[in-house]
Amino acid sequence: MSDKFVQAQYNKTIKNYQPKPNYFWNCLKAFIVGGLICVIGQAVTDFYVNVLNFSEKEAVNPTVTTLIFTAALLTGFGVYDKLGQFAGAGSAVPVTGFANSITSAALEHKSEGLVLGVATNLFKLAGSVIVFGVVAAYVLGMLRYTWQHFF
């Protein structure tokens, strides 16, 4: 047995056997799909503003709701996970990805009942996003407050 496969070298050696991810192609796919989701979001906002006469500010909440609802529906139909495999971060980062993480957990744990199954596990994946979102908002808020107060 040569050095190649001794335990200490193994992790380095196996890199030659693992198929390389195509970073450029993956980035391009993520950019296009993520961008398209944003374009759809903009179109929905325009619809609320131009057709239903919402103000630009008023249109934000119904737009997000529409996107979340659509993503939840696509998760239920078994489409969003396939989109996720194709687009990676492109479909994970927008609010639709957040909706997918919640809906998929709810679907998965439905068999354990509404309280201990669905409700307990709803934020299994999304929980960390919320925790770090709140913490980041708090830290930034404190910095902004301090800045405004002293300068």
Partner 1 sequence: MGKMGQQSWLYNSAIYINAAGTAVGPLEAAGPLGESFDRTYQELHCNQDNWELAERQLMKDAVHACLQKSGKDRSEMDLFLAGDLLNQNVTANYVAKELGIPFLCMFGACSTSMETLATGASLIDGGFADQVIAAVSSHNATAERQFRYPTEYGGQKPKTATFTVTGSGAVMISKQKSNIRVEAATIGRVMDYGTKDPFDMGSAMAPAAYDTIKNHFQDMGRSPKDYDLIATGDLSSVGTPIVRDMLKEDGFDVEEVHNDCGLMIYHSDQPVFSGGSGCACSAVVTYGKLLDDLASGKYNKILVVATGALMSPTMVQQKESIPAIAHGVVLMREEGA
| Residues, the chain | 151
**Binding of partner 1 at residue 91 (CB under 8 A)?**
yes
**Binding of partner 1 at residue 73 (CB under 8 A)?**
no
Distance CA 96, CA 105 (A): 14
**Binding of partner 1 at residue 134 (CB under 8 A)?**
no
- Angle ∠(65,49,75) on CA atoms, nearest 5: 25
On whether the CB atoms of residues 68 and 95 are closer than 8 A, the answer is yes
Restricting to residues 2-61, name those near partner 1 by CB under 8 A.
Answer: 2, 4-5, 7, 10-11, 14, 17-19, 21
Sign of CA dihedral 8, 12, 18, 21: positive
Restricting to residues 100-119, name those near partner 1 by CB under 8 A.
Answer: 100-101, 103-105, 107-111
Amino acid in position 34? G
CB of 121 to partner 1, least distance (A): 8
**Binding of partner 1 at residue 148 (CB under 8 A)?**
no
Q: Which two tokens stand for residue 20?
A: 């390389």
| DSSP 8-state symbol, 86 | H
Contacts with partner 1 by CB under 8 A lie at 1-2, 4-5, 7, 10-11, 14, 17-19, 21, 75-76, 78, 80-85, 87-89, 91-92, 97, 100-101, 103-105, 107-111, 124-125
